Amino acid sequence: MENKKILLGVSGGIAAYKACELASLLVKEKAQIYTILTQSATQFITPLSFKTITYNPVYINQFDYELVEPLHIELCQKADLLILAPATANLIAKIANGICDDLLTTIACAYKGPVLLAPAMNTNMWENPITQENIKKLQEKLNYQIVLPASGELACRTVGIGKLAPIEEIAQKAKSLISGQNPETPDCKLKNGKLNDIKVLITAGGTREPIDPVRFIGNRSSGKMGLALADEAYERGANTILITTNAPNTERPYKVIVVETAHQLQEAVENYFDTSQILIMSAAVSDFKPIQFFNSKIKKTTTDSDWHLALTRSPDILETLGRLKKDGQVLIGFAAESENLLKNARKKLENKKLDLIIANEVRPEIGFASDYNEVYLISRDRLQEPKLLPKTTKTEISKQIWGFIEEKFLNLKQN
């Protein structure tokens, strides 16, 4: 990225402060960053912050500068990439509909190079059908590359999808676009990807086993790792199906099936497993479920100090699939462990008849609910040589996992 000229457009959302960190990362890659702020963005972050980080001018009003050519044309001509981060619902709507009422939207309209857009907004705004339609329009008509927002606690104190994607993920995507590695087709599918037309089935999230209409037995899985794997499989050309229990946003260019319980997950997986060539079982399936479901909320009583809940085992989906697997199918599982990680992962690999297992420790900074992960890859013919993928974003981990799968199972043929 050395000496590459990047326009960084920042719109008015609380995530605007994170754009400073993004600018800093790109400067460390020796890129030249020119920042454009909307008037609303200046309410969250000052121009001086970006000027100090980038050592370059910061632009706000297109009529404040004396140049031979109009400012938006001058900036567009020198740029190798335009990044819009954070991109609010308002900015996305204006660009998608050709509105040019400030410097940033005018630049977006005039710029003909690659554009990377990183949305950030309230969950309801992100899930609004109009916002989704605008995103789709930018992808299909202008070939915008989208770094989808993450899930977590938002500024409004609610939890949902809408957080700006991890800065490292945005920077990595920018680096790929600058180096010409970005997919050429509007739907992000690789024309000559090694997974082209391979049928991939992925599960994600943690199952919930209901106790009564209010309570359930569950786990802390957020579904982020499975979602990242599904996104990456699709980008590499795979015919992708995602079965997930966590679906704040199901707007994906591939098929998404939403389930809740282990039984529903098993039913959905078995419906598609026979025609799938690769299955990645990323979902965290509850090992136990209540024997009885109570039709009304269980109340406290004055006579009982303790209450006992009877449990029974949930179906072992991976074990069943291991028995059903046909020649040519690749079965991949996950192992999240709090101790004896590699020992337990190898045992699961053998018992479930898996081709590959992806193992990670349960730690606060990685794994469940985190945007980061660190995993070991253990394949059937490399039991003594686990491959470590060091801590990085789940998006980057997913790329490395698929790279390993492609290298390992290149002889895949369509059914």
Q: Which of 76, 100, 156, 188 is catalytic?
A: 156
Q: How far is the CA of 89 from the CAs of 35, 118, 136, 150, 385, in angstroms? A: 20, 11, 13, 15, 47
User: Which tokens belong to 99?
Assistant: 């509105």
156 is catalytic: yes
Which phi and psi angles does 135 have, rounded to 5°?
Answer: -60, -45
Q: How far is the CA of 16 from the CAs of 20, 32, 341, in angstroms? A: 8, 19, 39
CB 381 within 8 A of CB 359: no
In whole angstroms, what is the distance from residue 154 CA to residue 247 CA? 17
Find, among 89, 126, 92, the residue nearest to 248 by Cα.
126
User: Which tokens belong to 111?
Assistant: 């710029």
Task: List 257's β-bridge partners, or say none.
Answer: 243
The packing angle between helices 18-28 and 47-54, to 10°, is 10
Find, among 251, 214, 217, 216, the residue nearest to 234 by Cα.
251
Output the CA torsion sign for 144, 248, 375, 353: negative
SS3 state of residue 177: helix
**How would you class 180 by CB atoms within 10 Å of its CB: exposed for 0-12, middle for 13-18, buried for 19 or more?**
exposed
Which phi and psi angles does 292 have, rounded to 5°?
Answer: -120, 135
Task: List 325's β-bridge partners, or say none.
Answer: none
Q: Between β-strands 372-379 and 387-393, what pairing exists: parallel, antiparallel or unpaired? A: antiparallel
Question: What is residue 165's DSSP assignment?
Answer: P
Q: What is the 3-state secondary structure (H, E, C) of 294-323?
A: CCCCCCCCCCCCCCCCCEEECCCHHHHHHH
Q: Which residues contact 154 (CB under 8 A, 6 or more apart)?
A: 122, 123, 160, 162, 163
CB 384 within 8 A of CB 297: no
Active site residues: 156
